[in-house]
A = this chain, B = another copy of it.
């Protein structure tokens, strides 16, 4: 950046640029937008950022991000606690909830196996899932990891870890485009994928 840029302006452009999908041009545009807006706009965003970690915890049961544990879904007695849907990320829970056809509970792994990136089973919430299966009366585990290489490997690994339990283990139907990302699937595709889930 040329020296004509005030340090705090350059710093914010730099901070925005570190976010995924935001290049230096977008970062400049956002920064100068906030300089033009009433000061409130930048401060509200700052507050929301500070509250993000301070105001959230992981649910002790499903490991979704929540304000207090257990999360509203785990605490909901009207949901089917005999079925657990295993997903990679909290956004995947949202996507499946939006499809409106799933009434069970969830388990958020916080990632997918990827040894090349150093993501081994112990980095994910797989041990905790096995523990849940051991200690509760379950009928079914729906493996809803992404239809990507890492997601498939993660599903296969979890399947293997849970075979002893003798419960139904299913995978979302291939209504999802291979190589795609679950969080971007539209509600109807996701609903079909849930309805068409098959035994592994």
Contact = CB atoms under 8 A, between A and B. Distances in A.
Interface stretch (A92-100, A147-155, A166-174, A192-200): A92-100
Among the interface residues A3, A9, A72, A73, which one has the most CB atoms of the partner chain B within 10 A? A9
Given A30-B20, A33-B20, A98-B2, A8 B52 contact: yes
A77 interface: no
B55 A6 contact: yes
Contacts of A44: 15
A12 interface: yes
A67 interface: yes
Residue among A20, A48, A51, A67 with most chain B CB within 10 A: A48
A6 B98 contact: no
A33 B110 CA distance: 11
Interface residues of A, number: 63
A51 B47 CA distance: 13
Contacts of A5: 94
A165 interface: no
Contacts of A43: 49-50, 53
Contact of A91 (B15, B26, B32, B53): B32
B53 A4 contact: no
Interface stretch (A34-42, A125-133, A138-146, A156-164): A34-42
A110 B32 CA distance: 11
30 contacts: A2-B94, A3-B72, A4-B64, A4-B97, A7-B55, A8-B48, A8-B51, A8-B52, A8-B55, A9-B65, A12-B48, A15-B45, A15-B48, A18-B41, A19-B33, A19-B34, A20-B29, A20-B30, A21-B26, A21-B29, A22-B30, A28-B94, A32-B89, A35-B52, A35-B56, A36-B110, A42-B50, A43-B49, A46-B46, A46-B50
